[in-house]
Structure 1
Amino acid sequence: MTDAITTYRPDPAVAVVTVNEPPVNALPVRGWFALADAITAAGRDPSCHVVVLRAEGRGFNAGVDIKEIQRDNGFDVLIGANRGCAAAFAAVYDCAVPVIAAVHGFCLGGGVGLVGNADVVVAAEDATFGLPEVDRGALGAATHLARLVPQHLMRALYYTADTVDARQLHQHGSVYAVVPRAELDDAALDVARRIAAKDTRVIRAAKQAINGIDTQPVHRSYRFEQGFTFELNLAGVADGARQRFLDGGA
């Protein structure tokens, strides 16, 4: 666990996992694995009936720490980031209890991976969602964006790196509620408490059942996407794109 990932219990049956990695919640490799561990541990606790995933700061999540990748002369950090993202996304999806994502501000890249695999999404009015991957010379999380918007909109958002706001996602049914920023935590906890009041044995079985009938193999499809990221890195495309971003050119 790192200081950037914390867990507390506002109620005995509700675990709140908070990400706080200034300045923009772009997580380094250790942060993604710590987040995976925190969510998995909460779900394994029999006294926990539901998990709320939230963040402090300017936005929910800005994806991977590109500066960390660029500091590495090889591919160790890139591989670590990809594996860490896969672990965190899987932890949300496979968590033994429902995971509610409470999203504010920007939700980009890896943030979409977390939210797309969540069971319920509650968003602040200022929340925006997008995948800037193509501008960074990478691919990934189309798997998860496709769980938030229809297929053709997903493709348009992916190719253009445009964003979509919380109210648009609410219209598509992927965001459960949109509330003022100041009410986000209370709104997420309200949903969490309603779920937590149910028989956790039934809810845990329901989570397994719903995952079992899912038509999208989220783990396999995301790893498939990541294979193309490795190709782009080996071709030298990704490194240049990341550096242009850090230099302020994108």
Structure 2
Amino acid sequence: MGVSTSAPEAGVAVVTVDFPPVNALPVHGWYELADALRTTGADPAVRCVVLAAEGRGFNAGVDIKEMQRTKGHQALIGANHGCHAAFAAVYDCPVPVVAAVHGFCLGGGIGLAGNADAIVAADDATFGLPELDRGALGAATHLARLVPQHLMRALYYTSRTATAEELHRHGSVWRVVPRSALRSAALELAREIAAKDGALLRLAKAAINGIDPVDVHRSYRFEQGFTFEANLAGISDRHRDAFVSDRPGGGEGR
């Protein structure tokens, strides 16, 4: 359980997240993921990183149970900073990152996938932000990188999800494959990328980030301020308590 890194072939590293039962990450898990991505990206032998997950889904956001059992705002602040660190580690990784998404990609999962350079998805993958149902705000910055602006707003306000095939039609998912073929398809794309000159790839990543029309770091931190405001107003606790009580063994995800 946790975050692991492997090197299945030359030039390609795989960072895998495994936090059962649903990959809803506790505070330390976000930092662990950020550290793994930064360390992997700093390795001069790595030319492409695949970000993958074990279990039922790619990512279900933050661990709401942890947040509700922690007194005060420390868990919320930790989750805010941890998510920001992990999302930034994907975006700022010196080499391209391919997200291999299966099952649910919710909340923080959108932050990870939305900041990746490319997405390969299983045909069972669904993408969405249930933030309003969980008393939170955030990651509209990253959902806007996956779907057009008006669709992003409708998905955000309704907490509905979009399928991998829908995102493929919008051009944000590179390829949709059966679940059993996801890892090999992600590695196939990573292998093609890693075949390029490593120094040029790092320059290309820096150049593309440099012309990005949105400062994703500042944009996401701006959103997080409203999440904290909702917490101070007592709105968030009501929704999180309701979510935890509605899930007998759950409470994960945001």
- Matched with 2:177 is 179
The 2-side partners of 1:12 and 1:23 are apart by 32
Residue 246 of structure 2: SS of its match in structure 1?
coil
- Matched with 2:231 is 233
- Matched with 2:153 is 155
CA-CA distance at 1:12 after TM superposition? 2.6
- Matched with 2:86 is 88
The 1-side partners of 2:31 and 2:100 are apart by 20
- Matched with 2:56 is 58
- Matched with 1:74 is 72
The 2-side partners of 1:120 and 1:162 are apart by 23
The 1-side partners of 2:197 and 2:227 are apart by 42
Letter in 2 for 1:193: R
Equivalent residues in 2 for 1:82-121, closer than 5 Å? 82-121=80-119
CA-CA distance at 1:40 after TM superposition? 0.7
1:143 is the counterpart of 2:141:
yes
Number of residues of Structure 1 aligned to a counterpart in Structure 2? 248
Could you give the per-residue CA deviations for residues 1-59 of structure 1, whole angstroms, max 9, x where no partner exists?
Answer: xx410000001311100000000000000000000000111110000111000000000
Gaps (5+ residues) in structure 2?
none
CA-CA distance at 1:75 after TM superposition? 0.4
Residue 24 of structure 2: SS of its match in structure 1?
coil
Residue 214 of structure 1: SS of its match in structure 2?
coil
The 2-side partners of 1:80 and 1:240 are apart by 20
Residue 201 of structure 1: SS of its match in structure 2?
helix
Letter in 2 for 1:219: H
Deviating 4+ runs (over 3 angstroms):
none
1:131 is the counterpart of 2:113:
no
- Matched with 1:47 is 45
- Matched with 1:5 is 3
Letter in 2 for 1:81: A
Letter in 2 for 1:97: V
CA-CA distance at 1:226 after TM superposition? 0.3
Letter in 2 for 1:221: S
Letter in 2 for 1:175: V
- The root-mean-square deviation of aligned C-alpha atoms, in Å, is 0.9
The 2-side partners of 1:138 and 1:30 are apart by 20
Letter in 2 for 1:159: Y
TM-score relative to the length of structure 1 = 0.98
Residue 214 of structure 2: SS of its match in structure 1?
coil
Letter in 1 for 2:204: A
The 2-side partners of 1:45 and 1:190 are apart by 21
Structure number with higher relative contact order (C-alpha < 8 Å, ≥ 6 residues apart):
2
The 1-side partners of 2:31 and 2:25 are apart by 10
- Matched with 1:29 is 27
The 2-side partners of 1:6 and 1:240 are apart by 35
The 1-side partners of 2:243 and 2:216 are apart by 29
Could you give the per-residue CA deviations for residues 84-109 of structure 1, whole angstroms, max 9, x where no partner exists?
Answer: 00000000000000000000000000
Residue 16 of structure 2: SS of its match in structure 1?
strand
TM-score relative to the length of structure 2 = 0.97
Gaps (5+ residues) in structure 1?
none
